[in-house]
Amino acid sequence: MFIDESVIYVKAGDGGNGCHSYERLKYKPKGRPDGGSGGRGGSIYLTGSPQVHTLADVAYKQRYVAQRGAHGKGKNQTGRSGEDIFIQVPLGTIVYDDSSGNILFDCLNPEKPQLVAKGGRGGRGNAALVTKYNPNPDRSEFGKPGEEKPLRLILKVLADVGLVGRPNAGKSTFLSRISRARPKIADYPFTTTKPNLGIVQIPGNYDSFVVADIPGLIENCHEGKGLGIRFLRHIERTKILAILVDASSDNPQADADILVSELNHYSKSLSQKPKCFILTKTDTVPKDQKVHIPKGWLSMSSVTGENIDKVLWTFKKMVDKSREENPDLC
Ligand SMILES: Nc1nc2c(ncn2[C@@H]2O[C@H](COP(=O)(O)OP(=O)(O)OP(=O)(O)O)[C@@H](O)[C@H]2O)c(=O)[nH]1
Ligand SMILES: [Mg+2]
């Protein structure tokens, strides 16, 4: 199941209490203080993983509580630290503190676990509290509580090119033709119900880019029609958008205008993205009819493979240009 938003609760482990004890020696009723300190509570980290594609597992578990630190013991024994928890989320997950609404960070780097709840410090035992002026401290400390908070996780997938089109425009077929992704394809609308990603490697070129296919858009989807616009967040971080229109359309330009206006309704960032317009399924136009391609558009057929290379090179050029202009954009 694809889930792109979830609230989870994280609670780091409390620190163990320090121990209050004294060495017991023969003929020495009250020896030196030897109470060990408590162990540190386990912390909770989030890591972005390229192998995880949905927040479903995280949403299912919901509550993450790390182990507490063990209490210190006599004979200077320090308590064991609680084990840390590492929660794996898809790359591109944005993490908010749900109580304040503040954004904490964005999981973009797979190698770097981010601390979300710090384990409590262990309390010091009376042995650790010995000072020159107080060689026999008559106290020990309690462990500090671990941090706890609700987190809102919102996934915005990371891709370079976003495919936008009406249902049945041929988006998923195109993605399966250019990458190893195998999205569901069928001749009924709304076959795609979740975003699909595919890595595209242009033959003879080492560089690759990622293409995202999202469910189809229809007129007034910003009012909730069809599957609505909730999947548009997944193309918000793409570098360019490809608007796909079926060649059987009576007026491809008008169809594209409707799609663009839906994008404009959604956000300024989508309206400002560089766009590439493509007429799809050109093989379906009868041989005796001329394919009418609006000015500045590309055309292709995912079935015969006609012009696919040209479209991919256009994507590559546009993506490279965008990478140069906005190196920080992700
Ligand atoms: N002849 C021909 N048929 C195509 C081509 N591309 C897609 N189709 C067919 O068009 C239908 C819809 O294709 P999809 O790839 O599922 O369309 P989609 O845009 O992903 O549709 P949704 O997921 O519903 O938004 C399928 O029956 C495909 O086989 C093409 O280039 N030529
Ligand atoms: Mg599809």
pLDDT at site 329: 58
pLDDT, tens digit (0-9, with 9 covering 90-100), for 115-158: 999 999 999 999 999 999 998 899 999 999 999 999 999 999 88
Atom of ligand 1 nearest to the CA of 304: 31
d(CA 232, CA 245): 17
**Ligand nearest to the Cα of 176, by number:** 1
pLDDT at site 330: 54
Residue nearest to atom 21 of ligand 1 (CA): 168
**Using CA of residue 167, residue 169, residue 172, residue 173, what is the dihedral sign?**
positive
d(CA 99, CA 150): 6
What amino acid occupies position 5?
A: E
d(CA 221, CA 243): 16
Name the residue of 185, 196, 231, 308 to mutate for ligand 1: max ligand atoms within 8 A of Cβ. Answer: 185
Q: What is the pLDDT along the chain (330 residues), one digit of tens a residue?
A: 788 899 999 999 999 999 999 988 887 777 889 999 999 999 999 999 988 888 999 999 999 999 999 999 999 999 999 999 999 999 999 999 999 999 999 998 888 899 999 999 999 999 999 999 998 899 999 999 999 999 999 999 889 999 999 999 999 999 999 999 999 999 998 999 989 999 898 877 777 889 999 999 988 888 888 887 888 989 988 999 999 999 998 899 999 999 999 999 888 888 999 999 999 999 998 888 877 888 999 999 999 999 999 999 999 999 999 888 876 655
Ligand 1: centre distance to CA 50 (Å): 28
Ligand 1: centre distance to CA 206 (Å): 29
pLDDT at site 290: 79
Name the residue of 2, 163, 168, 299 to mutate for ligand 1: max ligand atoms within 8 A of Cβ. Answer: 168
Architecture of domain 161-325: 3-Layer(aba) Sandwich (3.40)
pLDDT at site 328: 63
Decide if 212 contacts 196 (C-beta within 8 A).
yes
Atom of ligand 1 nearest to the CA of 166: 25
For the chain, which residues make up each domain, given as ranges? 1-155, 161-325
pLDDT at site 240: 95
| C-beta 173 within 6 A of ligand 1 | yes
Ligand 2: centre distance to CA 55 (Å): 21
**Token pair 């590439």 is at which residue?**
276
Q: Backbone phi, then psi, for 215, in 5-degree steps?
A: -55, 155
pLDDT at site 123: 97
Decide if 270 contacts 288 (C-beta within 8 A).
no
Ligand 1: centre distance to CA 323 (Å): 30
At 260, list the tokens: 């663009």
- Strand 44-49 to 114-117 pairing: antiparallel
Domain covering 1-155 assigned CATH 2.70.210.12 in the classification? yes
| C-beta 283 within 6 A of ligand 1 | yes
Burial class of residue 91 (count of CB atoms within 10 Å of its CB; 0-12, 13-18, 19+) = buried
Name 177's Cβ contacts closer than 8 Å, sequence gap at least 6.
302, 305, 308
pLDDT at site 17: 97
